[in-house]
């Protein structure tokens, strides 16, 4: 049960606090007084789509708080538990939503921040709002299947059918893809084999591009290096003259040492040192010239080697450009082509597998669609029976309501085409609602369907001017049916009908006042005597007569 509503700065409402009770509550007032604003605020609190247009002019934000008393069996509790928002058995559920003037929205459940999406999911289990234009949905046959599914509670069946239909479409797409592949497989096979042959002849090696690039840089500098080494060799005496001079000098030193013999002449030590140095110089000169010659030999390469390296690099890069990869990926590309050829060669096997999968998917969809169709037919029988039970109380005891289920195109909703047909006069053949039902009849058919559905929802029901287009005894019948709906729950009705208002257990009067700077909406619970005056006003208009008051008492059952 919705026990309390607190509204702050929503459109024309600056501050409003309502205490609600079980049974039927009527919200009445002149057109434009702001009755719909209260419903908008309540929708905001329960996660309905809302925007900054609800924020009262001059305010920083709008807020609505809705408090619910829930029985332990209410489905909202299961949703809260799954989100780790457990409630105590005697704890009330408090929903709060704020919207800033910048359009930013915040949502809370028992002061715990939640997403607006989650708030909306929870709100769907708490409130069921039926507007004055709900009857238009009855005029659209495409909506009838959704109404029947809502009545039947086919959530699991629809989910299973939708999943099976998605799998069926995927299987069809896969088979079509393979068939297209088969059509071009011969052409692709020739291309792939040619590409593999080219790559096999090229035979790219790991890191070959970097190795070739380094070799090219070496070869491009080899000529200059060889020239420098030849010059070094010449400087070291490539003709042996330098070594000859060193040898002559060493021989001269040796002759001097022989002349001195074993004497201890002062020059003896210097001569020994000079001889040793000359021997070392001669040896190192020979080693240096040998090393330079070896280095020169390493640069004395085949003049065609540079051209060979550059041609190899060009061939590798050309192949890489052709296949849209880096040179280093050519080996991987070759493996990829081989896998594609393997896939083409195994295409027949895949086609058979895809055909079998499509067959299995079609069987699974047929099974789930049949289960959904069977559930709909059972629900259709219950809906027809439920609506027919409602019609006499709405002064349509001779009317007929039928739910027709025909074969339709396969979809995520199964294979059914659902449409509601009615007959409003005795002896006439049932036909489409939009061709047979008048505006008032349509409103009553809508109410009958909603009433039949209401017994299974357990939600607070709100009717926004669903009595529009009816009056007199028919309006009284609508009021009485709403009152009966409220016996086992809570119903709120926004109405301009005095007959409906008179059937209510409780009544709120909504009014509007204007000052120089602003317009405000007010709402107050009215006593039995005030209700008599309000219903008389609804009957008579601006000037309330004694006759109107008497008629109001009669409607209210006051003697």
SS3 482: helix
Task: With residue 367 as reference, give the H or E element that holds it.
Answer: helix 347-390
Cα 13 to Cα 59, 63, 508, distances in angstroms: 11, 11, 15
Say how far apart CA 353 and CA 343 lie, in whole Å.
13
Q: Where are the domains of the chain?
A: 1-126+459-522, 187-344, 527-559
DSSP string, 389-431: HHTGGGT-TT-EEEEEEEEEEEETTEEEEEEEEEE-STTPPPE
Domain 1-126+459-522, what architecture? 3-Layer(aba) Sandwich (3.40)
pLDDT (0 to 100) of residue 495: 85
SS3 459: coil
In this structure, the number of other CB atoms found within 10 A of the CB of residue 127 comes to 22
Cα 358 to Cα 193, 343, 364, distances in angstroms: 32, 20, 10
pLDDT (0 to 100) of residue 376: 96
Chain center to CA of 303? 66
**Average pLDDT of adjacent 10-residue blocks, the chain of 559 residues:** 92 89 87 76 89 90 93 85 85 93 93 92 82 58 86 91 96 91 74 87 86 75 56 61 70 70 67 74 72 59 72 87 87 87 80 94 96 96 91 84 93 94 84 72 76 66 72 78 82 87 89 79 85 85 81 80
pLDDT (0 to 100) of residue 357: 96
Contact 329, 320 (CB under 8 A): yes
Query: Torsion over CA of 351, 353, 358 and 360, rounded to 10 degrees?
Result: 160
pLDDT (0 to 100) of residue 366: 96
- pTM (2 d.p.): 0.58
pLDDT (0 to 100) of residue 257: 67
Handedness of CA 357, 361, 366, 371 (dihedral sign): positive
């Amino acid at each position: 049960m919705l026990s309390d509503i607190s509204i702050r700065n929503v459109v024309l409402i600056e501050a409003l606090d309502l205490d609600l009770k079980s049974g039927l509550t009527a919200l009445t007032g002149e057109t434009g007084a702001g009755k719909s604003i209260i419903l908008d605020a309540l929708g905001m609190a329960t996660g309905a789509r809302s925007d900054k247009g609800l924020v009262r002019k001059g305010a920083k934000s709008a807020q609505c708080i809705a408090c619910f008393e829930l029985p332990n069996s209410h489905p909202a509790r299961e949703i809260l538990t799954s989100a780790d928002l457990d409630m105590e058995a005697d704890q009330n559920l408090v929903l709060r939503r704020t919207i800033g003037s910048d359009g930013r929205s915040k949502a809370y459940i028992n002061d715990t921040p939640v997403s607006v999406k989650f708030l909306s999911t929870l709100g769907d289990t708490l409130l069921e709002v039926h507007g004055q234009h709900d009857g238009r949905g009855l005029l659209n046959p495409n909506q009838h299947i959704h109404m029947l599914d809502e009545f039947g509670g086919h959530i699991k069946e629809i989910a299973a059918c939708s999943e099976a239909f998605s799998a069926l479409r995927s299987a069809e797409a896969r088979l079509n893809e393979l068939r297209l592949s088969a059509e071009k497989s011969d052409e692709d096979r020739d291309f792939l084999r040619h590409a593999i042959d080219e790559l096999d002849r090229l035979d790219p090696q790991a890191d070959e591009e970097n190795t070739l690039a380094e070799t090219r840089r070496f070869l491009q500098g080899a000529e200059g290096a060889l020239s420098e080494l030849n010059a070094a060799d010449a400087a070291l005496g490539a003709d042996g003259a330098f070594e000859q001079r060193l040898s002559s000098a060493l021989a001269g030193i040796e002759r001097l040492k022989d002349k001195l013999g074993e004497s201890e002449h002062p020059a003896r030590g210097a001569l020994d040192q000079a001889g040793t140095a000359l021997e070392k110089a001669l040896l190192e000169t020979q080693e240096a010239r040998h090393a330079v010659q070896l280095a020169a030999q390493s640069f004395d390469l085949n003049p065609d080697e540079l051209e060979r390296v550059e041609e190899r690099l060009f061939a590798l890069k050309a192949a890489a450009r052709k296949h849209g990869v880096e040179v280093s990926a050519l080996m991987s590309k070759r493996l990829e082509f081989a896998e594609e050829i393997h896939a083409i060669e195994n295409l027949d096997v895949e086609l058979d597998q895809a055909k079998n999968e499509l067959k299995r998917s079609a069987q699974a969809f047929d099974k789930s669609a049949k289960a959904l169709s069977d559930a709909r037919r059972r629900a259709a029988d219950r809906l027809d029976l439920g609506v027919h039970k409602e019609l006499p109380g709405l002064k349509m005891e001779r009317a007929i309501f039928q739910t027709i289920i025909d074969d339709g195109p396969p979809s995520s909703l199964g294979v059914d085409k659902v449409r509601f047909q009615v007959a409003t006069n005795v002896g006439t053949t049932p036909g489409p609602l939009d061709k047979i039902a008048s505006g008032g009849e349509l409103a009553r058919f809508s109410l009958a369907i909603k009433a039949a559905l209401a017994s299974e929802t357990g939600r607070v029901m709100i009717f926004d001017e669903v009595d529009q287009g009816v009056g007199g005894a028919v309006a009284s019948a609508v009021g009485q049916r709403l009152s009966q709906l409220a016996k086992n729950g809570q119903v709120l009705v926004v109405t301009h009908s005095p007959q409906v208002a008179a059937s209510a257990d409780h009544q709120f009067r909504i009014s509007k006042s204007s000052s120089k700077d602003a317009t405000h909406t007010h709402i107050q619970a009215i006593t039995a005597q005030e209700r008599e005056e309000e219903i008389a006003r609804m009957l008579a208009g601006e000037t309330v007569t004694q006759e109107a008051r008497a008629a109001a008492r009669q409607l209210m059952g006051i003697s």
